Amino acid sequence: MTTIDSYSHGASGEREFGCAQAIRVDHTIYVSGRLPHDEEGEFLAPGDFDAQAEQVSANFEKVLAHYGATRNQVVSETQYIVDLPRYSDAMAAANLAYFGDHRPTSSTIGVAHLFFPAQLIETNVVVDTRLPA
């Protein structure tokens, strides 16, 4: 039997967009694009790539903790970056800092805009809880 568990912060925007922060289907967790926002859904660090990347990582940790998962169980990530040529080195450094020796698959897409006008990064991941934490 398939089990499904949806997780939301209750932050502004979740109801309006009809989405969850994450959904677990059996052993796989699909995490929505993480933004640099606080618990209330307020956008943080306009125009500061490093601070935004750090906040995105912190927001991943909250979602993973809800499911008892860790970053070592992330199997795939997709990153959307505004002005990718400018921020590619910073993005790589943030990724290495977050994942350490763990190496999930990764796709990086340069985009013209994200939801918030000063937003520079959005990342989503897929997690397999059968992997060692």
Q: In whole angstroms, what is the distance from residue 123 CA to residue 118 CA? A: 15
- CATH classification number, 4-128, choose in 3.90.550.10, 3.40.470.10, 3.30.1330.40, 3.90.1300.10: 3.30.1330.40
Query: b/e string for 62-101 if b means 16 or more Cβ within 10 A?
Result: ebbebbebbbebbeebebbbbeeeebeebbeebbeebbee
Each domain of the chain, given as residue ranges in start order, spans 4-128
From the centroid of its chain, how far is CA 122?
7
pTM: 0.92
Residue 17 has pLDDT above 80, yes or no: no
The C-alpha angle 10, 18, 6, rounded to 5 degrees, equals 60
The predicted-structure confidence for 24-69, as pLDDT tens digits, reads as follows: 999 999 999 988 988 777 889 999 999 999 999 999 999 999 999 9
Nearest Cα residue to 56 out of 29, 77, 73, 72 = 77
